Chain A
Amino acid sequence: MTMKLVVIGNGMVGHKLLEELSALRPLGLDITVLCEEGRPAYDRVHLSEFFSGKSEYDLSLVTPGFFDQPGMHLRLATRAVRIDRAIKRVTTADGEIIPYDKLVLAMGSTPFVPSIPGNDRPGCLVYRTLDDLGALAGWGARSTHGVVVGGGLLGLECAKALRDLGLETHVVEFAPRLMAVQVDDIGGQILRRTIEALGLTVHTGKNTVEIVDGETARHRMKFADGGYLETDLIVFSAGIRPRDELARQSELGVGERGGIMVDNFCRTRDRDVYAIGECALWGGKLFGLVAPGYEMARVVASHLHALLTRKQSSGLPEFAGADMSTKLKLMGVDVASIGDAHGATPGSRSYQFSDGRRQVYKKLVVSEDGKRLLGGVLVGDAAEYGTLLQMMINGLELPEAPESLILPASGGGAAPGLAIDALPATAQICSCNNVTKGQLCEAVIAGATSIGALQAATRAGTTCGGCVPLVTQIMKAQMKRQGLVVNHSLCEHFAYSRQELYHLVRVERIRRFDDLLARHGTGLGCDICKPTVASILASCWNEFVLQQEHVSLQDSNDYFLANIQKDGTYSVVPRMPGGEVTPDGLIVVGQIAKKYGLYTKLTGGQRVDMFGARLEQLPLIWEELIAAGFESGHAYGKSLRTVKSCVGSTWCRYGVQDSVGTAIDLEHRYKGLRSPHKLKFGVSGCARECAEAQGKDVGVIATEKGWNLYVCGNGGMKPRHAELLAGDLDTATLIRYIDRFLMFYIRTADRLQRTSAWRDNLEGGMDYLRDVIVNDRLGIVAELEAEMRHVVDTYECEWKRAVSDPAVRRRFHHFVNSDAGDERVVFVPERGQIRPAAPTERRRRHERIPVVVETE
């Protein structure tokens, strides 16, 4: 039997259903998906990250090839306009008619726009889809002031996005406090102060009655109290309404305040029609979160599967409501609301703690007998969110004095945390992806012993990310139980991670590899630990890398300050900061290349590379380059490579800042800095981003007011967009943040870990990083800046030092007992330059067939 399934809506929940079905692989299922948007499902929860550099592709939820599976038909940009239940047909806006056996409605919600006269003026927007954000970006670029109507979870997220776009942003809320649903009055006050500290202006208790033409801006919002506010754009984020119009049209049951009524199997009153996600109304409740929707999708998938395989429907999973606890995912603002946050349960008691100085407010709601946690509010510090949530969901018994859970630890003793072992195996740790503690432990036993591996194996932590700290704790506890040590040993010579070695070097002021090996290692060292330690020593003390004590530690490329090529020759890359080079500079480079017969090419990093230099030629070539004012380009080092720039405001008609000047300054500041892996920067003069700064470890993009700083991007094997760390910085602040960022990376990254991989392994991710760099959460920024100052102040060009040091120069000979060159190096001509001979060509030459090498 074939079952024709039609799914209306390919949002987060609709797509989860398809994934669940595809995993069950039922035979005879033919699925047609109608997707109103022009693109298939994407991660709406992380929608705001569109503004910090995530592309449509990054946000996509569709694994490659998913819709190419047999029996799967996706109709993009196709809206269903009518359901004829009697004849089981769906009609699309194009008039196409699609028959179904079973129908699933997954149509989500629409943003609610209050019926204020003028709400449809140009520049009045909503915040729900990628297209909405595209429109917002467009209007944003033409505006200086923005208003968000609505101070709930979403409204605040949207306001922050506007602020990051560089707009002066106001939040207008009807209720007397922000996030009225989740927090109480005191919490709301503290939240307001935190939000205002982000540079947003908050107006509560404001009822907008009309929007008209403004005098200083596009619009004027008139309030019931007689006041007004002028702004260029307005985003309505005043709640959502379930999309139930098709259900109304086809006379399926709809709740009083909207929503398609469903039973525990998510069936509507028509047995052949289901509704899931935000459009569904269960037990009189709507669920505006993704986790309950995912749960509904799983319920419907097993129900359909059972029908197809004619299984008993008893024992099938049923939807049983969902926990609505939430955490605001705004940087620098910790707000969470758990369960019965307002203490609505009869007889419940509450405990509150507030700290006016740190702007922290916490509240617990406990049962009458004081044994169970019913809910809570956390503002300013939501570190306990995961723990408290688990205590509530699993009904764990509270400690004698429940208040100890939210009081700051005093006298050095740690606050009683959640004993991971107390959680039952069935405890759901990741609610977004329905992953239990038991499943996590099994995955660890099966070998997933890093957070990345565990996420890939179970998907836990891949949606809202709220569960990651708990997932990590469970992983570590399980590994400990199995006797697995989280092994961070760098190599057989050091039982320490790179990060630990870095600290040993700093704290014990170790300046020599031998010293470190004698104190903390064994054996002679190897090609893993020697370069790693060399790099740490250089980051800390910045001594000349070819100094006698350090030279034997250097990786082959650092050993001769040049990149070795396949035939044993080397490349020569002089620094051309920001890609700027004078005609005279170019002429000298050309003359040198010609003189030594080098192959020349422009690199992907905006400079010139000369290939085919023999060892003994390197000091001679560099002497000439240095005489012409060039410096080492560190193309060989795990250090700053290039700062790519666009031409910027000096010449470009769109440029708003001098990107070349800033790129050159940055390149000079950080040149020579040794780091765990190479570092690349980019600086663009405006949002058009010609320097591709968002593909770099450090990306700087000019705004009208200063610079936006993006970090942790890269190209290479696994391309990654950089993410916004901070916006609208003046140049001095920009440099301070980059100093801190780089030194923090150097302190804590693993060997050969680019910034993007490092960021992925940083517990707490970008928010944490921002907290450390911008808000000085760890109290170390002064130290980081001082460490960077030392490196900057002690810079010297390695090549300059090398050519003037006879001991170093002596090493640049191919033979220790002869002035001859390496006769195995053979070039052949190609396109007017040289290239290394292939092995067969070289052998021919050894049989005395002459091959021309052109050297003037």
Chain B
Amino acid sequence: MNDHATIIEWTSICDIDDIVPDTGVCALLDDEQVAVFRIGAGDFYAIDNVDPVSEAAVLSRGLVGSLTERIVVASPIHKQHFDLRTGECLEAPEYSVRTWQVRRQGSTLQIRRGDA
């Protein structure tokens, strides 16, 4: 099972060029699915991949964009928007998701749990 030490470590998941600008991918971390997004050339965000509304693991496949000041992804199932910085669900805050931390090491992308 999840050992605390491994979770707080940064985990390399892919090369930044594995993500097409303005789209997302899904990374597997132990048992958990994380949706990682690339906005423009070099901004990265990560949130849970499971859409809490439909319970399907699909958020990485949503369309990204902005709503006023927020940067959001729209769930491909029923189009709720999730704030990529905070994980908040704009339409129904009770369905908010967790955020993860992302960093670049050279051309490698790394993530770890946001609450670490």
A-side residues, CB < 8 A to B, are 492-493, 523-527, 529-531, 548, 551-557, 559-560, 564, 566-568, 810-811, 814-818, 820, 822, 824, 839, 842
Contacts and interface: CB of A to CB of B under 8 A. Distances in A.
A551 B61 CA distance: 11
Given A524-B39, A524-B71, A816-B14, A566 B63 contact: no
A553 B67 CA distance: 16
Nearest to A552: B22
B26 A526 contact: no
Contacts of A555: 63
Nearest to B69: A523
B37 to A, nearest CB: 10
A564 B61 contact: yes
A552 B23 contact: yes
27 contacts: A492-B67, A492-B68, A524-B66, A524-B71, A526-B63, A526-B66, A526-B72, A527-B65, A530-B65, A548-B20, A552-B23, A552-B64, A556-B76, A566-B54, A568-B56, A814-B26, A814-B57, A815-B25, A816-B13, A816-B36, A817-B14, A820-B28, A822-B57, A824-B50, A824-B55, A824-B57, A842-B55
B109 to A, nearest CB: 9
A817 B50 contact: no
A818 B76 contact: no
A600 B89 CA distance: 35
Contacts of B62: 527, 556
A527 B63 contact: yes
B61 A815 contact: no
B104 interface: no
Contacts of B22: 524, 552
Interface string B19-35: 11111011110000100
A interface secondary structure, majority: loop
A559 B27 contact: no
Given A493-B65, A551-B23, A811-B23, 6 more contacts: A492-B68, A526-B66, A526-B67, A526-B72, A568-B56, A816-B13
Contact of A567 (B14, B27, B36, B56): B56
A556 B71 contact: no
Contacts of B63: 526-527, 530-531, 552-556, 559
A15 to B, nearest CB: 44
3 closest cross-chain pairs (CB), A and B? A556-B76, A526-B65, A552-B22
A818 B50 contact: no
Nearest to A551: B20
A37 B43 CA distance: 72
Interface in B55-105: 55-58, 61-68, 71-72, 74, 76-77, 79, 81
Nearest to B75: A556
A816 B18 contact: yes
A350 B112 CA distance: 87
B56 A527 contact: no
A568 B50 CA distance: 10
B26 A811 contact: no
Nearest to A526: B65
Contacts of A527: 62-63, 65, 74, 79, 81
B61 A556 contact: yes
Given A525-B65, A816-B26, A816-B27, A552 B77 contact: no
Contacts of B68: 492
Contacts of A551: 20, 23
A816 B12 CA distance: 11
Contacts of A556: 58, 61-63, 76
A559 B26 CA distance: 15
Contacts of B61: 556, 559-560, 564
B27 A815 contact: yes
Contact of B28 (A523, A526, A557, A818): A818
B58 A568 contact: yes
A552 B21 contact: yes
Contacts of A822: 33, 57
Contacts of A492: 67-68
A839 B55 contact: yes
**Which of B27, B36, B57 has most chain A Cβ within 10 Å?**
B57
A493 B71 CA distance: 13
Given A552-B21, A552-B22, A816-B26, A523 B58 contact: no
**Which of A525, A526, A816, A839 has most chain B Cβ within 10 Å?**
A816
**Which of B22, B65, B74 has most chain A Cβ within 10 Å?**
B65
B65 A817 contact: no
A531 B74 CA distance: 12
A811 B14 CA distance: 13
A554 B65 CA distance: 12
A815 B56 contact: no
Contact of A523 (B25, B66, B81): B66
Contacts of B25: 815-816
B13 A568 contact: no
Contacts of A530: 63, 65
A569 to B, nearest CB: 9
B9 to A, nearest CB: 15
B58 A524 contact: no
A848 B20 CA distance: 37
Contacts of A552: 20-23, 63-64
A824 B26 CA distance: 13
A552 B40 CA distance: 11
B55 to A, nearest CB: 6
A852 to B, nearest CB: 21
Nearest to B23: A552
Nearest to B72: A526
A819 to B, nearest CB: 10
A819 B3 CA distance: 23
Contacts of A817: 13-14, 27-28
B14 A524 contact: no
A564 B26 contact: no
B87 to A, nearest CB: 18
Contacts of B36: 816
Contacts of A524: 22, 39-40, 64-66, 71
Contacts of B18: 810, 816
Contacts of B14: 816-817
**Which of A525, A527, A556, A560 has most chain B Cβ within 10 Å?**
A527
A362 to B, nearest CB: 53
A548 B58 CA distance: 21
A553 B22 CA distance: 8
A527 B26 CA distance: 19
A556 B55 CA distance: 17
Contacts of B21: 552
Contact of B20 (A525, A564, A811, A842): A811
Contacts of B72: 526
B66 A815 contact: no
A563 to B, nearest CB: 10
Nearest to A559: B61
Contacts of B50: 824
A26 B72 CA distance: 57
B111 to A, nearest CB: 10
A564 B76 contact: yes
Contacts of B76: 556-557, 559, 564
Contacts of B74: 526-527
B69 to A, nearest CB: 9
Nearest to B40: A524
A551 B72 CA distance: 17
A285 to B, nearest CB: 60
A450 to B, nearest CB: 24
B56 A824 contact: yes
Contacts of A814: 26, 57
Contacts of A523: 65-66
Contacts of B55: 824, 839, 842
Contacts of B39: 524
A822 B59 CA distance: 13
A554 B24 CA distance: 13
Nearest to A815: B28
Nearest to A524: B66
